């Protein structure tokens, strides 16, 4: 048993990612951001789909086609495999806690 809000730092130099479940066709991670964003020029291009929800804090995702999605508590999005995206910003005044589910087609 665990708690998604345990050991959430107020500040950290780097984003923290913790794998909660790692199965053959899916992986679930808790991610904690404290003002981090994707490095300049970096686009995530993942082989698996990613369903992500913001549990606490705020963030903005940007897609290579320039679509931007601002997210707050309870907001979720499904990002298809190979849809290039990046994190433009996360809250600097409070931790942003994400739950990300990475999965493959059956």
Contacts 24+ apart (CB under 8 A), 58-63: 58/90, 58/91, 58/96, 59/33, 59/87, 59/88, 59/89, 59/90, 59/91, 59/96, 59/98, 60/87, 60/88, 60/89, 61/85, 61/86, 61/87, 61/88, 62/86, 62/87, 62/88
Range of the domain at 40: 16-103
Q: Where are the beta strands (DSSP E) in the chain?
A: 16-23, 26-33, 49-56, 59-63, 68-71, 76-79, 85-90, 96-103
pLDDT of residue 19: 97
Residue 6 located in a structural domain: no
Q: Tokens 């369903």 belong to which residue? A: 51
Q: How many domains does the chain have?
A: 1
pLDDT score recorded for residue 14: 85
Q: Which pLDDT value is given to residue 38? A: 95
Strand order through the sheet with 68-71: 68-71, 59-63, 85-90
Q: What is the pLDDT of residue 7?
A: 85
- At 83 the pLDDT is 98
Task: Specify the CATH number for the domain of residue 30.
Answer: 2.60.120.10
Does 8 reside within a domain? no
- Classify residue 3: in a domain, yes or no: no
Residue 4 within any structural domain of the chain: no
Per-residue pLDDT tens listing for the chain (106 residues): 889 998 888 878 889 999 999 999 999 999 999 999 999 999 999 999 999 999 999 999 999 999 999 999 999 999 999 999 999 999 999 999 999 999 998 7
């Amino acid at each position: 048993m665990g708690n998604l809000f345990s050991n959430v730092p107020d500040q950290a130099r780097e984003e923290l990612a913790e794998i909660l479940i790692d199965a053959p066709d899916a992986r679930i991670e808790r991610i904690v951001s404290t003002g981090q964003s994707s490095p300049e020029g970096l686009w995530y291009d993942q082989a698996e789909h990613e369903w992500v929800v913001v549990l606490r804090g705020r963030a903005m995702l940007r897609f290579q086609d320039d679509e931007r999605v601002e997210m707050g508590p309870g907001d979720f999005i499904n990002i298809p495999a190979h849809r290039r995206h990046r994190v433009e910003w996360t809250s600097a005044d409070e931790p942003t806690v994400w739950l990300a589910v990475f999965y493959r087609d059956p």
